[in-house]
Structure 1
Amino acid sequence: MHWEKLAMPSCSWASLEDPLDSGKLVKLCAESFDESGDPKNDFPHCLFMVGEWLMETTELMAQFIALYQESSGECRSQICHAVAYWIRHFPVHFDAHVQLCKLVERLKKLASEDSLDDTVINELDVSSVPSYAWLRNVSVRNPVARHVSLSFEQWSPEDISNSMSHIDYKVLSRVTIPEIKKYMKTGKLNQTPVLERSIAVFNSLSSWVQCMILSKNTPKERADVITKFVNVGKHLKKLHNFNTLMAVIGGVTHSNISRLNKTHNCLSQETKKELNNLTNLLSNQSNFGNYRKCLQEIGTKFKIPIMGIHLKDLIAWNGNGMNFEKTGSITLKKIFQLGHLLSYFLGVNRSGHNFAEPNMDLINTLKVSLDINYNENDIYDLSLKKEPRTLLNFQGSGKSVVFAEWASGVCQAPDTETVNKHISAMVDAVFKHYDHDRDAYISKEEFEQIAGNFPFIDSFVTIDVDRFVF
């Protein structure tokens, strides 16, 4: 929903263009609640969403306490309703934040001393805030108890898209407002490692798609892989996962792949049509007009937007001169605009996904594929090897597909501990599904199946005639 369609607060002392300091912001927020504790407009949600952008959460909470001490009667209950709303709708702000929770307890004590209604006091409870430890950890295992093939050849497009979506969801959910704001200030990705990692995963996924296509020897085999990824793209669109969709289609339409005329001649008309539709959806024409229109049609349903597009929108907005840290004030119009822009980031809106249950064995196998540092020149050389350049299809070396110019070349290698963890989890998965006699070995044929997931991987070590291990 566009910010202008949100319910604005009705206030005689604050118009859309009036600059408001932090004290006035919390006052307006408190006044936005009725006697039953329900918000009368969208301002409270917007303020708590952008609060981390404007100031520290402890500073915002301190402002509510200061207002409480200055107020009396019904206004004090409204302040408690506001903080209770904050806890209910943005619990991640309070998880493992000791100082913020202590301030909530202080407000609760004040409300109790003033004999406010028990219902109001009991709402100020941070003891039952859910844990968001998974946002701070590298990964969380939640295996599904079903047998699954770990060979790309046998993965269904639905399995691939669902697993990719789980990976992207967790990576993007870790990109928080402080991380985004720091990038706005410095413009340097190496100072925002979580954001840099999310871009690296995007680029690695796009490169992996290219490599999977180029790993096949015949045009027909390569066309079959392209068809599979187009079907993956169709399912990603159904899941409203546009960020991963951009990475996959970016890989399929990369110049390293689009130059393969013999391969594309083997594609069916239906696949060409579907690929064209997905390409048009993600086209940058009219500032990604088709994509933005699709987002509007989805409305409030769960979606994973293309982070790079909305980060560029935020950069453009941030360049318009608003600096709360310097001026100590911001207009309502700017707050609603900022809230609208930040709502596209999973790490801000905290929307729950609608994906099927994850299969961690398949996901861990994919993670290892994405941990590989793909070299752009090697991929281009492989493309030339599969279909050598001719006078009819001469093209220069293509650049890596990324979702924003500033992300070009980002292929951050994860730390050794992360790589080892992913590899260990993948090895466990392989032996769980293929070592049927539990003798700690699997056959050469099974190894070759799994090796197909890693186009540039070195040959496996032969232990004896019919036994192979990693």
Structure 2
Amino acid sequence: MVQRRRNTCPSPQDITRALQGPSSASNPGAASLDELIQRCLNCFDPEGKLTSPRGSQLVDMTLMMHGWVVPSQMFAQKLLTLYPPLSLSAGPTGAHVHDCPSDKRGLKRTQICHLIRQWISQFPAVFEADPLLEQTMGDLWALARSDGVETHSQLVDNSCLGPHANMFQAPSPSVKKRKVSLIFDHMEPHEMAEHLSYLEFKNFCNVSFMDYRSYVVHGSVRDNPALERSVMMCNGVSQWVQLMILSRHTAQQRAQVFTKFIHVAQRLRALQNFNTLMAVTGGLCHSSISRLKDTSNLLTPDITKALGEMTELLSSGSNYINYRRLYNECSGFKVPILGVHLKDLISLNEALPDYIDQDKINLSKLQHLYSNISDLVATHSCTPPFEANKDLLHLLTLSLDLYYTEDEIYELSYNKEPRNTKIQPVAPVKAPVVAEWGSGVTPRLDPDTISKHVKQMVDSIMKNYDQNQDGYISLDDFEKIAANFPFSFCTHEADREGEISHEEITSYFMRGMSICAKLGYRFNTHNFHETTYKRPTFCENCGGFLWGVIKQGYHCKDCGINCHRHCRDLVEIACLKKHKNTTGSCPCTPAPDTRIKGNTWNIEEEAFVFPAKQRDRKPPGHRSGQQQQ
């Protein structure tokens, strides 16, 4: 008895429902691999055209789904074996061509070449991921070329395949000339829902049929980047909703944010983006939020009713029957709840055997799986009914990179509204199961990705708020933008009173994200300051001399490297020195270096920083006693 996989193994009821799901063809029975290939070959006429819609579907199903029962290299090897040469003596060992007339051999060669061309053109990613398949395709090409028929060798030539680009991609976000507000309180719910939908749809379009098979076979998103990104976004949105509510200081403010996210959810429902709707609703129903009695008392009856409707729609009762009914009625642009449909694929895979009568491929199983996967892949070609702004996308992308543990979120919740045993607990709203299929996946990105997201967002901030284009924005605008991120202010040294520079904003977010994204000390960023050098100094990045009378370049106070102004963004991201946490402000703030200096020359001894800095100065707007989140 094979042990059932936790979280992914279907129940008997799940299997029954999956088998009762829609299928685009009647039971096609079973066939050996040779018979299946021959059926596909018979679907092509001498000119290489598919003779019927049913034949086209059989070919598409076989090329997409054969990997569930036989490796693609074995499938290609079978085509190589079946390929009849011009002369009988030249045939590969085991080729059954002795009873085949020359005209039929020519037709079969043509059909095999057109089947391979169909495979290459429709599913190019398969060839890029399998070196053994690449080798077999080379043998096929050499055999076709030896016949002297140029068209045949061209049809089976896959050497022209470049880096595979997804055929179905969300359209490029629009570059609008107008300035946009990057402040959470200024963003309209419909605007937020549309940009979340853009990011969600982009991730969804990157999930290929091979990714679905990988998850079903292994029961995990490990080593499956496309599905892992989708899980990370779902979990990230759910956490972000919780954190944005808990980052507000009063119950009234928390109720306002809660109400805003209800309106976001309603817009997501209208856009038919059910995956992000599940994430937002899951965040609103999380016990760290539902326990907030003071906050819930300030919600209007309409908001409470809307939340109940969302949870009812996404309820897992009767195998998500409410969601399934609505999803099947939807047309046009839509984003499914991936976890629900992956569960269906697992049910089918475990309910039906790969083979019948030992060597017969179970075509009924392939047809059921193909029907489900092709429906998901077909959704990629839909056009979103909205436009996206790059600057807002950059803001949301970085916001969703945050990661807090459950314990940290609950600690924040109890900090906002401590437990009161005299107050009756709020009747809990049953939360939908959010990304159960991706449990254990946390949004922990690599430092380079975080750095890229920070740079994009800071560039967007400067584009929209740097009115004088001098590299500075007002500290007031910065603090409002920083409120989009639920981590406390880090101390920073301002060059101008009441203003903050591009470099200081970048440093703030890089340091904040290094803590909140749980990147640890491996991701300490450089603490660059514009510096005047009194000794010859060279750039860490390009090796060039730092010229000038004063302020020739930038020096990192933590690891000691130096660079030109224009090389600062090109220097290696990670700062090699491990920062020590101080007891004040943000945990990522480095403490002064207390090591005993040796006799070697140190730039800090003879160089001066211009203008002079007050290391312990608190930034304007700093609130004493502010608690870290």
TM-score by length of 1: 0.81
Per the alignment, do residues 32 and 64 of structure 1 end up closer, same or farther by CA in structure 2, a change over 3 Å counting? same
Match of 1:28?
A: 39
- CA distance in 2 between counterparts of 1:95 and 1:272 reads 51
Amino acid at match of 1:272: T
Matched residue, 1:316: 347
- What residue in structure 2 maps to residue 11 of structure 1? none
Residue aligned with 2:317, SS? coil
1:168 to 188, 192, 200: 200
**Residue number among 408, 414, 423 corresponding to 2:454 in the alignment:** 423
Counterpart position of 1:234:
266
Q: What is the deviation of 1:211? A: 0.8
The aligned counterpart of 2:254 is: 222
After superposition, the Cα gap between the structure-2 partners of 1:292 and 1:56, relative to the gap in structure 1 and judged at 3 Å, is same
Quote the residue 2:228 is aligned against: 196
Q: CA deviation at 1:150?
A: 1.4
2:487 is aligned with 1:456? yes
Total equivalences in the alignment: 455
Structure 1 pair 220–92 and aligned structure 2 pair: CA distance change class (3 A): same
**Aligned ranges 1:118-157 → 2 under 5 Å:** 132-133=164-165, 144-146=175-177, 147-157=179-189
Contact 2:349 2:365 in 1 (8 A): no
Cα deviation for residue 4 of structure 1 reads 5.1
Contact 1:251 1:401 in 2 (8 A): no
For residue 249 of structure 2, give the secondary structure of its aligned residue in structure 1.
coil
Q: Look up the equivalent residue of 2:325 and give its one-letter code.
A: K
Residue 341 of structure 1: SS of its match in structure 2?
Answer: helix
Deviations 1:5-53 (A, max 9, x none): 4145xxxxxx6332x2332222222334567535431322322332443
Give the structure 1 partner of residue 68 of structure 2: 53
Residues 179 and 192 in structure 1, CA contact (< 8 A), matched pair in contact too: yes
Displacement of 1:436 in angstroms is: 1.4
Mapped contact 1:240–1:303 kept (Cα < 8 A):
yes
In structure 1, C-alpha distance between the alignment counterparts of 2:467 and 2:228, rounded to whole Å: 40
2-side partners of 1:104 and 1:288: how far apart? Answer: 47
2:497 maps to 465
Structure with larger RCO (C-alpha < 8 A, sep 6+): 1
The 8 Å contact of residues 254 and 400 in structure 1, kept in 2 or not, is answered as yes
Match in the other structure for 2:602: none
Shift of 1:456: 2.0
Q: How far apart in 2 are the matches of 1:435 and 1:101? A: 56
Are residues 89 and 179 of structure 1, via their aligned partners in 2, closer, same or farther at CA, if it must alter by over 3 Å? closer
The answer on whether the counterparts of 1:46 and 1:336 sit within 8 Å (CA) in structure 2 is yes
Asked if the contact 2:243/2:409 (under 8 Å) is kept, the reply is: yes
Do the aligned partners of 1:21 and 1:329 also contact (CA within 8 Å) in 2? Answer: yes
Percent sequence identity is 35
The structure with more radius of gyration: 2
- 1:272 corresponding residue in structure 2: 304
2:410 pairs with 1:380:
yes
8 Å CA contact 1:209–1:251 kept in 2: the answer is: yes
Distance 1:428 1:113, change over 3 A: same
Question: Which 10-residue stretch deviates more, 81-90 or 418-427?
Answer: 81-90
Deviates most, 240-249 or 226-235: 226-235
Cα distance change of structure 1 residues 215 and 46 upon mapping to structure 2, 3 Å threshold: same
List per-residue Cα deviations over 1:135-169 (Å, max 9, x = no partner): 9xxx9985623332211112222322222222223
The alpha carbon displacement at 1:296 in A equals: 1.4
Per-residue deviation, residues 328-381 of structure 1 (Å, max 9, x unmatched):
6422210111113333655x8743442533322211211111111222222212
Looking at structure 1, the residues matched to 38 and 243 of structure 2 have their Cα atoms a distance apart, in angstroms, of 56
Q: Tell me how far apart the structure 2 counterparts of residues 149 and 105 of structure 1 sit (CA, whole Å).
A: 57
Q: Which digits, 9 at most, give the CA deviation of each residue in 1:186-242, with x for residues without a partner?
A: 445445454334322211110001111122223332222222222222222233221
TM-superposed deviation, 1:122: 8.7
Asked if 1 retains the 8 angstrom alpha-carbon contact of 2:352 and 2:365, the reply is no
Amino acid in structure 2 at the alignment position of 1:318: N
- DSSP 3-state at the match of 1:343: helix
Q: CA deviation at 1:125?
A: 8.5
Task: Return closer, same or farther for 1:396/1:274 CA change in 2, 3 Å cut-off.
Answer: closer
1:102/1:410 CA distance change after superposition, 3 Å: same
State the distance in 1 between where 2:327 and 2:429 align: 30
Q: In the alignment, residue 330 of structure 1 is paired with which amino acid?
A: I
State the match for 1:366 in structure 2. Answer: 396
Q: Quote the Cα distance in structure 2 between the aligned partners of 1:183 and 1:275.
A: 32
Compared with structure 1, are the counterparts of its residues 190 and 86 closer, same or farther at alpha carbon in structure 2 (3 Å cutoff)?
closer
Q: Distance in 1 between matches of 2:387 and 2:435?
A: 31
* 3-state secondary structure, aligned to 1:263: helix
Deviation of residue 96 (structure 1)?
Answer: 8.8
Q: 1:113 aligns with which of 149, 152, 159?
A: 149
The letter of the residue matching 1:246 is M
1:248 to 268, 274, 280: 280
Q: Secondary structure at the match of 1:442?
A: strand
Q: In the alignment, is residue 16 of structure 1 matched against residue 52 of structure 2? A: no
Mean CA deviation greater in 409-418 or 394-403: 394-403
**RMSD, matched Cα:** 4.0
Instruction: Give the alignment of 1:301-450 within 5 angstroms.
Output: 301-320=332-351, 322-323=353-354, 329-343=360-374, 345-346=376-377, 350-391=380-421, 392-394=423-425, 403-405=434-436, 407-450=438-481
- Which AA in structure 1 matches 2:397? K
Show the counterpart of 1:263.
295
Q: Is contact 1:223–1:264 with CA below 8 Å preserved after alignment?
A: yes
Q: Would the alpha carbon gap of residues 58 and 107 (structure 1) be closer, same or farther in structure 2, given more than 3 Å must change?
A: farther
Unaligned runs of 5+ in 1: 9-14
What is the CA–CA distance in structure 2 between the aligned matches of 1:349 and 1:109, rounded to whole Å? 39
Report what 2:525 is aligned to. none
What letter corresponds to residue 40 of structure 1 in structure 2?
P
